[in-house]
Amino acid sequence: MKHFFLTILFAVVAMAAQGQIHYRFEGDLGDAGITQPFYLINQNNFEMTVVDTIQVKNGKIIPHDAVADSMFFAIMISADNTIQYQPLVESGTIVAGYNQELEEVFFTGTPLNDESTRVYIEVIKLDELNLSKGELTAKIDSIVFPVLQKHADDPLGLQLECDFANHVGSYQRGIEYIDALAKKWRDLTVIQNERRRFETQLTTQIGTMFKDFAVEYDGKTTRLSDYVGRGQYVLVDFWASWCGACRMEIPNLNEAYEKYHSKGLQVVGIAVWDKPEATLKAISKDNPLYPQIINAQSIATDLYGINAIPEIMLFAPDGTILARWLHGTSIRMKLEEIFGEGK
């Protein structure tokens, strides 16, 4: 009996040892000016918890050995938060190398990092082919999805889903990327939230009818339906005062308003994720010519599955969604398509 329990104990210890991984970081980041520590953050649970520190001098990683409980998809971020990489932490020597042709740092030396680097280089080089948007999306999907399926249970699958599910042509395809992952990844809160967002976006994609919402501010209730579905084309800009890219779009929206308002175009700004006083200050400074719905916070963005701004949408006179994710040039092109050049 004593020997039986010892056998079980040895088996448990052996299993625990097999669960640990021993990794080593070394290599060159390609910039001799980089001399600061990098913090390794476990991406699997998406909490900003530092799990290791890697020293860098004159752009070169000071060889660093450590032990982790399991493999993980990491953020390797500089102490000043200006540089970040995404290595996969697994047993073996993980080597950083700067690719001069692509001007990117890639990690190799271990199976998952080798495969990750191969996929990302193949995707990046698609830019050389001058493909249409649809052709590019299809090519990316054909490269990435089979690898994600093969690595659904390890950190490479999670990395590929996080980086590509939003760029594979449709919200339904994004859901399929999530569903291809192992249950342990699908159960992560951030992945569950992403799936819900894709499902919401499916119900608010181009060709669907607008969803109304109401916002209260300063004793007044304003609804999207006060503008949309009333016989005019409506550009709706989801923005915030702290978002530099959002505020760069205001001159483009002013131009569209001035050029086409008399022809049947309305423009509306919807301030989200922002303090009303900050919104009003930005409005005073940037002078948008069109009406604003202030203090929407997450009411509107949750309804339309928006996780990044600016998000500029175009609605038809009957309230049907005609376009999403418009920006400066695409705003102009879409309006010229509707109203005609110079009209």
The answer to whether the CB of 124 falls within 8 A of the CB of 144 is no
Q: Cα 113–73–107 angle (5° rounding)?
A: 25
β-pair partners for 23: 66, 92
- Residue 170 confidence (pLDDT): 87
| Model confidence pLDDT, tens digit, residues 155-200 | 999 999 999 998 887 889 999 999 999 999 999 988 998 999 899 9
Sign of CA dihedral 299, 302, 304, 310: positive
- Residue 9 confidence (pLDDT): 35
Model confidence at 335, in pLDDT bands (50, 70, 90)? very high
DSSP state of 166: G
Q: What number is the average pLDDT over the span 309-315?
A: 97
The phi and psi torsions of 217 (rounded to 5 degrees) equal: -155, 130
Helices 111-124 and 155-164: crossing angle in degrees, nearest 10, is: 20
Residue 7 has pLDDT above 80, yes or no: no
- Residue 167 confidence (pLDDT): 85
Mean confidence (pLDDT) of the chain: 91
Among 301, 287, 42, 242, which residue's Cα sits nearest to residue 159?
42
Per domain, the residue ranges of the chain are 8-108, 131-203, 214-339
Sheet architecture: strand order including 56-57: 56-57, 60-68, 21-28, 92-99, 104-108
- Residue 19 confidence (pLDDT): 65
Q: Which residues contact 283 (CB under 8 A, 6 or more apart)?
A: 292
- Residue 76 confidence (pLDDT): 96
- Residue 168 confidence (pLDDT): 84
- Residue 1 confidence (pLDDT): 38
Asked if the bond preceding 291 is cis, omega within 30° of 0, the reply is: no
| Model confidence pLDDT, tens digit, residues 240-288 | 999 999 999 999 999 999 999 999 999 999 999 999 999 999 999 999 9
Q: Cα 90–95–96 angle (5° rounding)?
A: 115
| Model confidence pLDDT, tens digit, residues 9-59 | 333 333 333 468 999 999 999 999 999 999 999 877 666 788 999 999 999
Domain 214-339: which topology?
A: Glutaredoxin (3.40.30)
- Residue 340 confidence (pLDDT): 86
| Model confidence pLDDT, tens digit, residues 60-80 | 999 999 999 999 999 999 999
Domain covering 8-108 in this structure, CATH number: 2.60.40
Say which range, 42-46, 94-98, 106-110, 140-144, has the weakest mean pLDDT. 42-46
The span from the CA of 167 to the CA of 159, in Å, is 14
Burial class (CB in 10 A: 0-12, 13-18, 19+), 321: buried
- Residue 342 confidence (pLDDT): 52
Among 149, 339, 172, 313, which residue's Cα sits nearest to residue 261?
339
